[in-house]
Amino acid sequence: MPPVLGDPTRSSVPIVPTSRSRLRQTLDTLPVESRAYASATGFDGAPGAHLIVPNAKGAAAAVLFGLAEPGATPLDPMAFGKLASLLPRGRYRIADGAEAPEHAELAYLLSAYKFSRYRKSKPTDAVLESPRGARRERIETIAEAVAFGRDLINTPANDMGPEALERAATALAKRYGARVKAARGEQLAKGGFPLVHAVGKGAAEAPRLVDINWGPRKGGPKITLVGKGVCFDTGGLDIKPGASMLLMKKDMGGAASALAAASMIMRAGMPVRLRVILPIVENSVSAQSFRPGDVYPSRAGLTVEIGNTDAEGRLILADALALADEDEPDLLVDFATLTGAARVALGPDLPAYFTGDEKLAGEIAAAGAAAADPVWRLPLWAPYGALLDSKTADLNNVSSGPFAGAIVAAMFLKRFVRKTGAWAHFDVYNWNGSAKAGRPEGGDIQAARLVFELVGRRVAEIAG
């Protein structure tokens, strides 16, 4: 079960945000015994520091929590999440008057997540309270969806192969009354998804493409989400070194982000026509595996030469994006753990995004800031498209050099989006190597909260 907020009680302990410069003012609001205790401990309100101060009877009166100075450094909206692992058993609430309590409550729930499929974990004893209402419903909607996506990523490939990922997607769709279609195995080759079939045909479990539709058949903006679902990536015949395979269970993180965003949109009941397209494969080594030098057709009619079998994600996305583009949605977003180059450029915490739509680029930046789900734009640099030229096909799936890998991959995808103007590609990492506030160690969901915020803003703009 994902963490949830508790109903308000009279005995909950307030969590009071402060800082070095505001500490004296904060202490003046507390009973004299609490002020004396804080002074005796030397608590100075440093960022990330916390102190439980007692009242005259020795019970907890408040939790002081230090934040960065306003305006001095960027405030981490997830900072409050640190308390989920620090506070003792009890019931707490964000103090009245605190800025952006919704970020604090969400950060707490995101930090309280634990993956317990294979090993029992002790639930968080400290319950954070919040009044029932629209804010709490939104926070729990997001936290539930992120926990669902994290569970998918954290589950190893022996239990989260193509069949299991399809079942998880179908179960989510049915929960909200969505319509689901799936093509598998040879159906893909015959049904217009030759690249998905080529990548996944060497695995024990058949490749597949899952197509989910939710909402009214007519009316409302058309929102389409595409997610890369490579359940494990050996690299194929261009096999990865062993160390590079250690985290490859997370190569379906794009599908997990797409499903998490869809879960938020469906649970919130947004008045949109939502479509989720998931190409799902395992990139394995066998006698049936696709090979370097092979040439395959694509759904868009372009032929693709395989320069490297370890650049398989863009291949399955190409067919999926071509399908999505046929419908000309009002907004098309794809999520993919696509390139190491994006990580080299921006690190693991800041996903790259690409779009040729300047209005959409501004919307994404604003939504990411509002949702505390940061991303950074990289260019769709047209001259780099020539790096994908092939002598035997319409294009190669890789360039011949080591530079601009994330941009080259995005330029490859762009060739398969011809009709849709508002398209954005998110090159996500979806993994935390170590625990941070709001981001426990292990699988994570990036850019989904941003897209939920973005779609909500678009819906509000239409309604207003």
Q: How many other CB atoms are found less than 10 A from the CB of residue 343?
A: 19
What does the alpha-carbon distance between residue 83 and residue 65 come to, in Å, rounded to a whole number? Answer: 9
- Residues forming beta bridges with residue 51, ordered by sequence position: 64
- In the numeric block, which tokens belong to residue 253? 């993180």
Question: In the chain, what are the helix, strand and coil shares in percent, each to the nearest 5?
Answer: 35, 20, 45
Look up residue 193 and give its amino acid.
F
What does the alpha-carbon distance between residue 278 and residue 152 come to, in Å, rounded to a whole number? Answer: 14
- The single-letter DSSP state of residue 436 is B
Q: Which helix H or strand E contains 17, and what residues bound it?
A: strand 13-18
CA atoms within 13 A on the CB side of 153: 35
Beta pairing, strands 90-94 & 126-129:
parallel
CA atoms within 13 A on the CB side of 28: 4
- In the numeric block, which tokens belong to residue 427? 């090159």
Active site residues: 240, 314
What does the alpha-carbon distance between residue 60 and residue 74 come to, in Å, rounded to a whole number? Answer: 30
Residue 265 buriedness (CB in 10 A; 0-12 / 13-18 / 19+): buried
**Cβ–Cβ < 8 Å for 376, 353:** yes
**Cβ–Cβ < 8 Å for 109, 130:** no
- Max distance between CA atoms of the chain, in angstroms, equals 82
Beta pairing, strands 303-305 & 295-297:
antiparallel
**Cβ–Cβ < 8 Å for 62, 95:** yes
What does the alpha-carbon distance between residue 443 and residue 115 come to, in Å, rounded to a whole number? Answer: 9
Question: Which residue's entry shows tokens 């759904």?
Answer: 299
**352 three-state secondary structure:** strand
Q: Residue 90: left (phi > 0), alpha (psi -120 to 50), or beta?
A: left
Radius of gyration of the chain (CA): 24
What does the alpha-carbon distance between residue 384 and residue 405 come to, in Å, rounded to a whole number? Answer: 10
